[in-house]
Each structure stands twice: as structure tokens, then as C-alpha cells.
Amino acid sequence: MDTMITVENLHKRYGKKTAVRNLNFHVPDGQVTGFLGPNGSGKSTSMRCMLGLDAPTSGHVNFSGTYSTGEAYSGAFSALDRKAAVAGSVLDSYWFDPKRSGRNHLRAIASGAGISDKRVDECLELVGLTQAAKSKVGGYSLGMKQRLGLATALLGNPQHLLLDEPVNGLDPEGVSWIRRVIRQLASDGRAVLVSSHLLSEMQQTADRLVVIGRGELIGEFTMDEFLSEGTTIVVESREAVLLAEQLRREGLTVDVDMDRVLSVQIPQGQSDAEIRTHIAQTALSQGYLITQLNTVAANLEQRFLAATANAQEYRTQTPTEDQ
């Protein structure tokens, strides 16, 4: 059976406020799934419900079709003897006892889960905290606490990982390190769900995306699918207007930006290489000279802002020069 997290009709209400509304998505094994949404969109609430830390109002979550959380399973996942082997998580960097050393923190968690001290030392080494293991957690930087949180999540060698803002507080070297670790964990066959506001990093890390806004699903995409809508082919030609007319007749969407430059949208289901080849062949057949033919890719931040424009909790007007 594939190892996968499946979220089905997840709904969470706090009094009259609906935080999550009928969410459906999946987190497949062997891939990093980015979990994106504006502030207040329900990402953290969703993760807590997935882990059984909060009880959903309705709906449920399946881990590999074996372990579930939801209204019919309230508390069942949290009470599992093998929970540490099913799902590990990093949701909060502030819950540690500041008087304990990093090693003793991990030993306390491991003891409760029947995990050996040998595994504690392995996890400390994995996250680069071996030399700081005897130091009190109260003296750790935010980045060190993030590393300790990841070590805690990995104690049971879990099949699934849920990480909420794992790069928060890390310096550039630490951000690069966590990216490599997350990619390796997915390569080992784990299903990894990662929430982050650092979109440039997410673009380098995630294979696929789940995007939500105001507690509702906006869409589930591969990274290439999500970025393709904002990716265009830029063509420079002295016959740009004539070339644009011909390409439109052939079914492409084309804008003439200037007299000699046009941009061509990539149709859904086709690659930029296919469209570049098509444009070149069309120009050659018509005898038009092309002096530039480039793919201009959208970045994740641009696409995210466009996709969530109507779901932002706080929206401001762009200041003008007169203001």
C-alpha cells in the first residue's frame, strides 16, 4: 500500500468562526508537498487537526489507510502506541522546558515512546546539535530550537512528516541545510507536508503544492502546473505584429508588448520547449527573422499572490506618489 496522507472533508469551527472548511487534499509518499496560504488561512489549524491535537468538527485524515484522525476517531491517533513511527511534526519552537538540556529533552520524549537513547544521539547528529546536546534549551537560539524540534519529530523514524515553518529563525546556511534534509527525507520514501512563508525557498524544495485561503482549498498542483500559468515565451522580431497575427490564427494567446516584442502564453498541457519550437517553425515558414526567443518563468511569489488575491486577510492599497 502506498504511504500517503489523505485529508477528507476536514472542517473545523471555533464557536461561530469557521477556521477550516471541507478541505480535501493528499500528501503522497516520496514527495515534498508545500502547504501554502495567507495569514489566517487555516494552515496551522489543519495540521493540528491532522495530528489529532485538535478534534475536527467533521471530516477525517487517513495515514496510509491505517491510522485516522477525525470526529469518529477523536483522540485515537494521539493515543497510538506507534504514533511516533506514523507521523512526526514540528509545529512550535517554544514548547521546550528551558531548564532541560537538548539531549534530556529528547530522552524524555523517547522514553515515553519506547525509543532508545541510541536513537536520541542519532537524531542529535542528524540535525547538527551533538556539540550543543548538553546545553540548556533556554540558551538555544530560535534556529537551534528549530533543529531540536526536527530531531524530536524524527525520533520514531516516522513515515509521514508535518513541518510548520521549519526554516523560521535559521540563517542562510541553516535554510540550505533544512532544504537538503527535507528533500532527503522525501527521497527516502516519506510523505512530507511543509508550510512556509519563505516562498523562494519553497520553490526550490517542494514537488507539489496545496494552496488554501480563508480555510478553503484553492487548488492542489504540481509545482510545474502552478508556475506554468504565469510563464510566457518572449519573442523579439522585426515582424512581431505579423508573427503575432499568425500565431493567433494557430490558436495561441499572444500579446504584442512593443513593436518588436511579443509574449506568448503556454497552453495548458504543453511545455515551453514545445511552444518555442512551434514559434520558431512558424516564423521560419513565413520568412520572419527572430532575434530573441526566451522562456520567462513566473516565480512562486508572483503566482501565490495572484492565486490568493481574493483570500488575503489583510489587503492594502499600493501607495501612490501623491500620498
Q: Do domains 4-225 and 231-296 have the same CATH topology?
A: no
CATH code given to domain 231-296: 3.30.70.270
C-alpha 221/C-alpha 234 separation (Å) is: 25
C-alpha 132/C-alpha 148 separation (Å) is: 10
Three cell numbers written together for 239: 515582424
Strands 31-36 vs 290-296: parallel, antiparallel or unpaired? unpaired
- Block residue for cell numbers 512581431: 240
C-alpha 88/C-alpha 186 separation (Å) is: 13
Q: What is the pLDDT of residue 315?
A: 58
Q: What is the pLDDT of residue 68?
A: 64
Q: What is the pLDDT of residue 130?
A: 96
What does each of the 323 residues of the chain score in pLDDT, given as a tens digit?
Answer: 455 899 999 999 999 999 999 999 999 999 999 999 999 999 999 999 998 889 899 998 988 866 666 655 544 445 444 677 888 998 876 678 899 999 999 999 999 888 999 999 999 999 999 999 999 999 999 889 989 999 999 999 999 999 999 988 888 998 999 999 999 999 999 999 999 999 999 999 999 999 999 999 999 999 988 988 788 999 999 999 999 999 999 999 999 987 899 999 988 778 889 999 999 999 999 999 999 999 998 889 989 998 998 877 655 555 544 44
Identify each DSSP E strand in the chain by its residue range. Answer: 4-14, 17-28, 31-36, 58-63, 67-70, 87-90, 160-164, 191-195, 208-213, 216-222, 232-237, 254-258, 261-265, 290-296
Domain 4-225 in CATH: superfamily?
Answer: P-loop containing nucleotide triphosphate hydrolases (3.40.50.300)
Domain boundary assignment for the chain: 4-225, 231-296
Please spell the DSSP secondary structure of 237-303, one letter per residue. Answer: ETTHHHHHHHHHHTT--EEEEETTEEEEEPPTT--HHHHHHHHHHHHHHHTPPEEEEEEEPPPHHHH
